[in-house]
Amino acid sequence: MDTKSYGEEQLLMLSGVQHYAFCKRQWSLIHVEQLWAENVLTYEGRQLHKRADDPYFSEKRGDVLVSRAMPLACYSHGFYGVADVVEFHAVVDQQESGTVTLPGRTGSWRPFPVEYKRGKPKSGDWDEVQLCAQGMAMEEMFGIPIREGALYYGERERRVRVIFDETLRERTTALFEEMHRLLAQGATAKARYSAKCKSCSLLEICEPKGSSKQSHFYLENYLKHCRE
């Protein structure tokens, strides 16, 4: 049972755990240095999310109630954000665990988070930890276990089911603990070049192929320019 609790002012952005799992420096530049840059991949990602992000829209599809852009908060791990889509599946067995009742609806419903992503399934777990974080927040909010969710990939137009097992939960928890520690220190992770850098919108700001000194010089001058 988690006993740690964070205040409102300490909450991190839920989406940041995906950045951090992908690249600690990318997360540092965005969430510590407050930098951001657009590229075609981030643009396509935003367009895909527009299909899901309508907080005033919900619909019923057979035995599934679809809720969009649900606000989330998790004080035990210190983050807040929005779930693209949360499906509430009607449950026949009223004694089944992990269900909730909904205002204006009869019966019991099982929450099932769905996160929308551009492209296709990744080689790393950065999408999975973001979805798991949504499930962990919903557990705290609803007071029930959330065992699984799904990632929807726009390029292939299909879902990938994700089980929130202990390994994924521990990984997600550890990432948030690191993020809180780094933010408290005001530290920016060092640049380390890899193949995935090619798709990063912050490539020119980060300059991972340059020396640490060169990257630091570029970053300092970029920040100075932004503040002027």
Q: Is the pLDDT of residue 212 over 60?
A: no
The pLDDT score that the predictor gives to residue 35 is: 67
Residue 116 lies in a domain: yes
Domain holding 44: CATH number? 3.90.320
Q: Which domain holds residue 130?
A: 8-23+38-192
Q: What percent of the chain has pLDDT over 70?
A: 71
Total domains present in the chain: 1
Residue 161 lies in a domain: yes
- Write out pLDDT tens, residues 94-131: 778 899 999 888 999 999 999 999 888 988 999 999 99
Residue 146 lies in a domain: yes
Residue 174 lies in a domain: yes
Residue 105 lies in a domain: yes
pLDDT band at 39 (very low <50, low <70, confident <90, very high): very low
CA distance 139 to 142: 5
Residue 31 lies in a domain: no
Q: What percent of the chain has pLDDT over 90?
A: 47
Residue 66 lies in a domain: yes
Residue 209 lies in a domain: no
- pTM (whole model) above 0.75: yes
Q: Which residues contact 124 (CB under 8 A, 6 or more apart)?
A: 21, 22
b/e map 96-130, b = 16+ CB within 10 Å: eeebbeeeeeeebbbbbbbbbbbeeebeebbbbbb
pLDDT band at 47 (very low <50, low <70, confident <90, very high): very low
The DSSP symbol for 119 reads: S
Q: Is the pLDDT of residue 5 over 60?
A: yes
Q: Is the pLDDT of residue 210 over 70?
A: no
